[in-house]
Amino acid sequence: MRKHWLIGGLAGVFALAGLAFVQGGGSQGGEGAEGPVESGQPIAFPHNQHAGSEPGQNNMDCQFCHFSAERSVDAGIPSVATCWGCHIAIPGTNNPQEVAKIQGYMERDEPIPWVRIYKISDHAHFPHMRHINAGLECQQCHGEVQEMEVLEKADEWWTPAKELFFGQDPVWGGDNMGWCVECHREPDENGEQQASTDCAVCHY
Amino acid sequence: MTDGIKRRDFLKVLGVTGAGATLTGCSEPERLLPYVVAPEEITPGVATWYTTVCDGCSAQCGMWVRTREGRAVKVEGNPNHPVSRGGLCSKGHATLQHLYNPDRFHGPMIREGDRLRQGTWDEAEQQLAAQIGAIGNVMFIGGRVGPSMSNLIDQFVTAIDGTRVQYDAVSDAPLLEAARIAYGEPGLPSYDVGNARLLLSFGNDFIETGSSPVAHNKGLAQMSSVDAAGSKGRFVYLGPRLSTTGLNADEWIPIRPGSEAAVALGMASVIAGDAGAAGPYADVLRSYSPATAAQAAGVSEDAIRELAERFGSDSPTLAMGPSAGGHHRNATAANVAVMILNDVAGNVGRTVHYDANVTAAASAYADMESAVSAMAAGQVGVAMVHGTNPAYSMPAASGFAEAFAQASFKVSFASAMDETAALADLILPDRHFLEAWGDSMPRQGVMALQQPVMQAVPHFDSKQAGDVLLAASAHLGNDLGSATFYEFMRAGHMEMHDASMGDFEVGWRQALREGAVEHEVAATATTQLQAPDVALSFDTPALDQGGDLTLLVHPSPRFGGGEFSNSPWLQELPDPVSKITWHSWLEMNGNTAEQRGIREGDIVTVTSPHGSVDVPVWIYPGIREDAVALAMGGGHTDMGRWANESGVNALGLLPSESEQPSGAMVTLATTVSVTPTGERRRIATIEGSKGDQHDRPIAPAVALADLGHAEEDEEGHGELQELQGVGGFVPVPGDGGAATAFPLEGAQHGPYAESHEIPRWAMAIDLDKCTGCSACVTACQAENNVPWVGEDQIVMGRDMNWVRIERYYEQIDATQAGDLDVRMLPMICQHCGNAPCEPVCPVFATYHTPEGVNAQIYNRCVGTRYCANNCPYKVRVFNWYRYTDENVPDPMNWQWNPDVTVRTNGIMEKCSFCMQRIREVENRAALEDGRGIRDGEIVPACEQSCPAEAIVFGNIRDENSRVSQVVSSERTYRVLDEILNTQPAVHYLKKVTFHEVATGGHE
């Protein structure tokens, strides 16, 4: 009984440390001129505003910014100058303070330190151009990005809980080989496997 | 448990704190950094290639550099370069490591007291100009540079009334001087090795050194190949020691060191006969004969006479005189003698051209001796050193370091610390050639451009030396006309350009893209021998007496004269002759060692009148019993973390002496005594069996006379029993032997169904062409992120190179002239159809792909190492200690190929047939409307680099592919296949010998 205050105290310290870490981890999402935004990204870039097809949204093609997807293993992310190319004249109506951050990066000749959302492990080599060439839509793997304001990884440890309790579809199969193999194994209209499941196709 | 905490409470608390702790899951997330402004020529994930010229040595091979996202990741040969034609040697590959070498200076260094501190460029350049202006008496000591830089240095030095001295550690000065004496030509001759029917090398190690190792390597391979008429060029090596070059000869005449002139003249006298050929040397020839030659050389008279007769009657032939490893006190005369031999045999204008003006390292050591005297006498105010390291590469007996200290102000342009820079007062780090502009003229009529392939590596604040000189010159009031070296170089080229060559800018861009431009040069008429204008002695020169064994100091095939020693790739590259890594060794004949009670690994003290070194002994049948050999390049004291403490400096045993009349450094100068110290060490070698095949069918050969009369297929291989593809272990009978039988009926299910439509990758390696140069080893290491493990691990047998060159002695005799048969075999993963490694992996990390490649899936491997245990070829290497973290300091990891996984510890790896290159081509073909892959489109790194073009890779299912045609040769065999039935995808073509080889059985 006497020692419960000690145990409780230690538990409290750990919990506080844990919370501090979370806060710290969140704020490590990059520093813009005024600090990171809630999503952890340096600028609150809304994919839906740029790529969405709702009225008032800009309906841009994915490959306008992610330009190397059809030529390269890498999809590429837009250079700061690509953003600035439009935003030099477009202050934006929803979040002009976020748009203004771009100017800061251009002037400081500093790349925007985006937090990476979609990643496949280094021991697998994923060629974007082969998949685009095969007719896949970006959304098939990356989800309905054009409807998302904030991109989220789906392979966090709490994703199964979200699926189970809230019925949310995972955005992206993530670092999960099964996701890739499932599609590769699918038979095409001739009943043949539509893509190779030879290990060495991706792992070399 | 009375008043203590209850168990349930404890568990509750544990649960809460545990949950709290998991909230700490976040750590720094991975970032994606875009360009601020995307460069037009870079597509992320796609390589951009640039053409340039390798500045590693004087050969100046053409180079293609693969860059990814603005970083150079691989260098390869440029197939369009008229001299090197696509090959690149190990040193060339290793220049990429020098680019990212963490030992490079981070900025200019300024001396304060006894230490060097980093300064700014403004400060440094001001100091340079100030000191030159105040002190004057500038001496510019430089190594070989391209024509524009040489021009600039001349102008710079002239404008400030200074002097210029050129010095290269490894030089062809005796050959240069001999060409001047014999033919009045100002440049080195060019050799057409490929067309010679009989090639004699008088100690010329043309695969390792000289004006173009890559081109001559290619020529030797070409010459050695059996032509359509069924004949083959013969290569005879005359010299006291077999270098890598020598090991490829068909005959070895182990002549005494220094006797080349006597032998050449003895032979020439036979060929010239009474006809009085050899012009002004006819008198000289009269006093030479095979008998005098035999006496000087210590070999039989008949051998020399017989060789002479063949040399005179075969056509065309070619003889090459001694190179840097054999520069004795009469080296110029020896080269003149060989020129006389070529002349009487009618080779001039056919296989040897004196008007080619090959430019190569040809500096005179004698000039450095004068420079040292001038410095010691206090006559030098400002000493500037560029592109050379005399404090290391001149023998200690020269007194360079002490004299250099006498100069009032010492400047070095070294980009990384070396022994000379360590003595300097001011260091202005030069750019690496991959970050800089330049040009090169390997021979007359060929002009090549060197361009930067990336921005200067940002870790190192370096400046191109040409820019620094121009700025300093301007500061001192001598405007040389351009602000940057780039402008200076272009201005120079514009001056040489005339309107008939077309538009300059168009021509310039084309030259940058293709690498070199070649234009016709009118042949000069000088093919007549001239009377010598200096005294020449053709006698075997005297040697300093230090003992009873002649010391042969020679350039290292890996380090040259020591410039390349700070590269871990090269340190770990097994020496092509000895297969030793990291440390020095003394080559000694086995009989000699036995007589003295010396065993391999004994550390001996080698003493000459000029110094002594302690070095372990390595037993070598390829050296005369009265000689020992020591390679240059070891014993650095101040060159960086990999060079320092590695080996011994052979130059410490040599006198400081220049040969007359060429002025070259004398390397064959002394005899030594060898005394055991009583200590031993384990040799860091990758070789297991000391060059003995132990009667196994590893590297058989076939005699030229037996070609075309192959016996009916020796006992059939019996029923082909090949393991079924994916884990069903049922042997299925096949139709006997054919590689294309895989995969067999019954092995096609699941993803392997329909696999008869897809390619089956295979490789063919022609052992008659392979010279053992080991360029493929470094090329593979560079391409595949293969780690280096260090000397201790090599001693334990944990080397990690994916390719090794096996060297087997079948016939080698150091006591008399005779046939030589040494077999070189590049051993890689054989990608066996019946792989012994595949069934034993407990986690299926290695398996056979439908395309015929034995794949290794790194992330699946758990490190059982059973596969390596089972592999009969021992080509699987295991990563014991990771080797890829602090062993690869920033920015060396910039070199890593992003298309290849970097492996961590606990993982097995091996040759993958450059799977990343196969995928790259497959991807490209798929994008180009799903076209098929063209033959020759996939070129693994080893094939690309091979100067001898010995390796061919391709689809063996396509009967029109080059690899299918090559393996249809009667010389084709597969290693150990007949006794193990492993069905390798790698085919070898037997070496062809002139002497008889026992047929049947295993030879």
Q: What is the DSSP string of A63-116?
A: HHHSTTTTTSSS-----HHHHHHHHTT---SS-HHHHHHHHHHHHHT----EEP
Tokens, residue B863: 């490190």
Min Cα distance B349 → chain A (Å) is 51
- For chain B, say whether A64 makes contact (Cβ under 8 Å): no
Residues 6+ apart with CB under 8 A from B506: none
pLDDT for res A47: 92
Measured between CA atoms, the residue of chain A closest to residue B852 is A200
Residue B747 is predicted with a pLDDT of: 46
Cβ distance of A2 and B3 shorter than 8 Å: yes
Tell me phi and psi for residue B936, to 5 degrees.
90, 0
CA angle B978, B982, B988 (to 5 degrees): 65
- A2, A8, A21 member nearest B24 (Cβ): A21
Each residue's pLDDT tens digit, B616-670 = 999 999 999 999 999 999 999 999 999 998 999 999 999 999 998 998 999 999 9
Residue B692 is encoded by which pair of tokens? 């003995």
Residue B491 has pLDDT above 90, yes or no: yes
Q: Is residue B26 pLDDT above 80, yes or no?
A: no
Predicted confidence (pLDDT) per residue in A65-112, tens digit: 999 999 999 999 999 999 999 999 999 888 899 999 999 999 999 999
Residue with tokens 């008399």: B816
Partners of A11 on chain B (C-beta within 8 Å) are 13, 16-17, 20
CA distance B939 to chain A (A): 17
Distance from CA of B578 to the nearest CA of A (A): 33
In angstroms, rounded to a whole number, what is the distance separating the alpha carbons of residues B612 and A155?
66
Amino acid sitting at position B590: G
Q: What is the mean pLDDT of chain A?
A: 81
Q: Which helix (H) or strand (E) holds B302?
A: helix B301-313
Residue to test with chain B: of A103, A115, A198, A202, most B Cβ within 10 A: A198
Write out pLDDT tens, residues B434-482: 999 999 999 888 999 999 999 999 999 999 999 999 999 999 998 998 9
pLDDT at B379: 95
Does the pLDDT of residue B301 top 80, yes or no?
Answer: yes
**Interface with A, mutate which of B36, B726, B784 (most A CBs under 10 A):** B36
Residue of B nearest to A12 (CA): B17
Q: Which of residues 890-949 of B touch A (CB under 8 A)?
A: 899-902, 912, 915-916, 919, 923, 926-927
Mean pLDDT is lowest, of A135-144, B34-43, B788-797, for A135-144
Measured between beta carbons, the chain B residues lying within 8 angstroms of A103 are none
Yes or no, beta carbons of B35 and A130 under 8 Å apart: no
Q: How far is B882 from chain A (nearest CA, A)?
A: 15
Q: What is the pLDDT at residue B552?
A: 97
Least confident range from B95-104, B242-251, B716-725, B988-997: namely B716-725
Q: How far apart are CA B877 and CA B871, in angstroms?
A: 11
Q: List Cα–Cα distances, B790 to B144, B570, B574, in angstroms.
A: 32, 11, 12
Least confident span in A104-118, B94-108, B703-717, B795-809: B703-717
Does A115 contact B at CB distance below 8 Å?
yes
- The model's pLDDT over B800-859, given as tens digits with 9 standing for 90+, comes to 999 999 999 999 999 999 999 999 999 999 999 888 999 999 999 998 888 889 999 999
Instruction: Give chain A positions within 8 Å (CB) of B838.
Output: none
The predicted pLDDT at position A118 comes to 86
B 860-899 → A contacts, CB under 8 A: 860, 899
Residue numbers of B between 488 and 527 with CB closer than 8 Å to A: none
CA distance B43 to B25: 35
pLDDT tens, residue by residue, B310-341: 999 988 999 999 999 899 999 999 999 999 99
Average pLDDT over residues B263-283: 86
Contact B927 A133 (CB under 8 A): yes
Q: Give B-chain residues touching A24 at CB under 8 angstroms.
A: 26
Pairwise CA distance, residues B717 & A115, whole Å = 60
Report the DSSP pairing between strands B31-32 and B627-631.
unpaired
Determine the residue of chain B that is closest to A133 in CA distance: B927
- The answer to whether A197 contacts B751, with C-beta atoms less than 8 Å apart, is yes
**What pLDDT, on a 0 to 100 scale, did the predictor assign at position B718?**
35
**Greatest CA span in chain B, whole angstroms?**
121
Alpha helices in chain A (DSSP H): 4-27, 47-51, 62-65, 80-87, 96-108, 128-133, 138-142, 159-166, 177-185
Using pLDDT thresholds of 50, 70 and 90, give the confidence band for residue B722: very low
Q: Do residue B855 and residue A200 have CB atoms under 8 angstroms apart?
A: yes
pLDDT on residue B744: 47
> Residue B107: helix, strand or coil by DSSP?
coil
Q: Which residue of B has its CA nearest to A40?
A: B29
Percent of chain A's residues with pLDDT above 90: 43
Is A124 or A154 the better-scoring residue by pLDDT?
A124
B859 to chain A nearest CA, in Å?
7
Task: Tell me which chain A residue has its CA closest to the CA of residue B46.
Answer: A72
Q: B513-564, pLDDT tens digit by residue? A: 999 988 877 776 667 899 999 999 999 999 999 999 999 999 999 999 999 9
The string of pLDDT tens digits covering residues B343-377 is 999 999 999 998 888 887 667 888 999 999 999 99
pLDDT, tens only, B863-881:
999 999 999 999 999 999 9
B355: left (phi over 0), alpha (psi -120 to 50) or beta: alpha
Side chain identity at residue B665, one-letter code: M
pLDDT band at B726 (very low <50, low <70, confident <90, very high): very low
pLDDT at position B887: 84
